[in-house]
C-alpha cells in the first residue's frame, strides 16, 4: 500500500496486547512507523488509536489523554493482578449494599492518589513492575496523582456482590486499583472482571474496527478507515493563513501575530492548528510573544 499518515481506530479484542495490535497493523499496512496512544491490558477491550507514519510524531504531544471506561467487578475475592485473571490470594465474606457503594464512591472522584499495581507497565529501576511480579518480587512504588472526572455505579447485584462502574478519568488511572481500593474501603476485597475502554483521545468505540475488519478493508482496496493527523488535535483552535504565510510557516519562519487572524486571541504559549486557505492542515503552531512559531510539523 502507499505511504499512510494518520490514525487507525482499532477495537482491540481480548488476548491481544497493544504491542500485538501494532505488529498486526504494521504487517497489514506495510508501514514501518506505527505506534499507539496508550496501552490497553490484554484482557481489556475497546478503543486503541494506532498512529501511522508522520502521525507517530504526535505520541508525546497528544492534547487529550483522558479516557472513558466501563468496568465490571465482584466483591469477596482478591487476586495478585487485581483482576479475575490473576491468582486468588484472598477470599472474604461480602455483604455490601448499593447504597454503601454510592457513598464510598465520593472519595474516589476528583484528584486521588493511586499506587500502581505490581502487574503493570510502570518502570522502576529500569524494569517494568510486571517483570518483578513474575519473579515473585514486590518492590516499593510511589503513589501517583490521577484525576477521576466522573465515577458512577451503573448496576449492582447484592446477591452476587457484582456490579458495573462507568469511569471518566485522566491518563495513567488504573481501574483495577480503583476497584481494589473501593472494596477495601468497604471492609471487603474485590476484583475487576471485565473492562471496556469506550472512548480515548476523543475517539468513540463506535468509530473503531477490529483487526479482522481492517484486514478485509485493506484486501478490498478501501483506505477510507484512515483518520487524518489533524483529527488528533481537534481540541485546539484553528487559524487560517494566507498562501504566502503558509509557505513561510512550513519552512520554519515565524509569522507576526498581528498579520494573522490571531491578533485578538494571541494568548502566549497557546497552540493552534495552522491551515491554509484551501483547508489543508499544515502543522501545529504556538504563540511565542508577538509571533506564531512552528511547534510540530507532520
Convert the pLDDT of each residue in 144-163 to its tens digit: 999 999 999 999 999 999 99
Q: Are residues 84 and 111 in the same domain?
A: yes
Considering the domain architecture, whether residues 98 and 150 belong to the same structural domain is answered as: yes
pLDDT band at 1 (very low <50, low <70, confident <90, very high): low
Q: So what's the pLDDT on residue 118?
A: 82
pLDDT digits over 189-221, tens only?
A: 999 999 999 999 999 999 999 999 999 999 999
Tell whether 130 and 224 lie within a shared domain. Answer: no
Quick check: is 1 in a domain?
no
Based on the domain organization, do 149 and 134 belong to the same domain? Answer: yes
Q: Are residues 192 and 95 in the same domain?
A: yes
SS3 category, 269: coil
Q: Residue 101: how many CA atoms within 13 Å on its side-chain side? A: 28
- Number of structural domains the chain divides into: 3
Please say whether the dihedral angle defined by the alpha carbons of residues 147, 152, 155 and 158, taken in this order, is positive or negative: positive
Assess whether 73 and 161 both reside in one domain: yes
With bands split at pLDDT 50, 70 and 90, how would you rate the model's confidence at 125? confident
Out of 20, 41, 72, 180, the active site residue is: 41
Q: Give residue 10's domain range.
A: 6-61+206-231
Q: Both 185 and 213 in a single domain?
A: no
Q: Is 41 labeled as catalytic in the residue annotation?
A: yes
Task: Tell me the average pLDDT across 135-145.
Answer: 88
Q: Which helix (H) or strand (E) holds 247?
A: helix 243-250
* Pair (153, 218) in one structural domain: no
pLDDT, residue 38, reads 85
Q: Residue 33 falls within a domain, yes or no?
A: yes
- pTM, entire model: 0.90
Helix (H, G, I), strand (E, B) or coil at 72: strand
The pair phi, psi for residue 255, each rounded to 5°, is: -110, 140
Do residues 196 and 220 both lie within one domain? no
Same domain? 166 vs 92: yes
Do 118 and 178 lie in one domain? The reply is: yes
- Asked whether residue 71 falls in the same domain as residue 195, the answer is yes
**CATH number of residue 136's parent domain:** 3.30.2350.10
Amino acid at each position: 500500500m502507499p505511504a499512510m499518515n494518520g490514525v487507525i481506530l482499532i477495537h482491540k479484542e481480548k488476548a491481544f496486547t497493544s504491542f500485538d495490535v501494532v505488529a498486526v497493523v504494521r504487517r497489514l499496512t506495510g508501514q514501518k512507523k506505527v505506534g499507539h496512544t496508550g496501552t490497553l491490558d490484554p484482557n481489556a477491550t475497546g478503543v486503541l488509536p494506532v498512529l501511522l507514519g508522520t502521525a507517530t510524531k504526535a505520541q508525546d504531544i497528544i492534547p487529550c489523554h483522558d479516557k472513558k471506561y466501563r468496568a465490571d467487578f465482584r466483591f469477596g475475592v482478591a487476586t495478585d493482578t487485581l483482576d479475575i485473571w490473576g491468582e486468588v490470594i484472598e477470599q472474604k465474606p461480602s455483604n455490601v449494599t448499593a447504597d454503601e457503594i454510592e457513598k464510598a464512591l465520593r472519595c474516589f472522584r476528583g484528584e486521588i492518589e493511586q499506587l500502581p499495581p505490581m502487574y503493570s507497565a510502570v518502570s522502576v529501576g529500569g524494569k517494568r513492575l510486571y517483570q518483578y511480579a513474575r519473579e515473585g518480587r514486590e518492590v516499593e512504588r510511589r503513589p501517583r496523582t490521577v484525576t477521576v472526572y466522573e465515577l458512577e455505579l451503573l448496576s449492582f447485584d447484592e446477591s452476587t456482590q457484582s456490579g458495573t462502574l462507568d469511569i471518566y478519568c485522566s491518563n495513567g488511572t488504573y481501574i483495577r486499583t480503583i476497584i481494589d481500593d473501593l472494596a477495601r474501603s468497604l471492609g471487603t476485597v474485590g476484583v475487576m472482571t471485565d473492562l471496556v475502554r469506550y472512548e480515548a483521545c476523543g475517539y468513540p468505540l463506535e468509530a473503531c474496527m477490529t483487526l479482522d475488519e481492517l484486514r478485509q478493508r485493506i484486501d478490498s482496496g478501501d483506505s477510507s478507515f484512515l483518520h487524518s493527523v489533524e483529527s488528533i488535535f481537534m481540541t485546539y483552535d484553528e487559524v487560517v493563513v494566507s498562501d504566502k504565510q503558509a509557505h513561510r510557516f512550513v519552512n520554519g519562519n515565524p509569522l507576526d501575530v498581528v498579520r494573522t487572524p490571531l491578533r485578538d486571541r494571541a494568548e502566549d504559549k497557546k497552540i493552534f492548528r495552522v491551515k491554509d486557505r484551501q483547508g489543508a492542515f499544515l502543522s501545529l503552531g504556538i504563540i511565542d510573544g508577538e509571533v506564531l512559531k512552528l511547534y510540530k510539523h507532520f
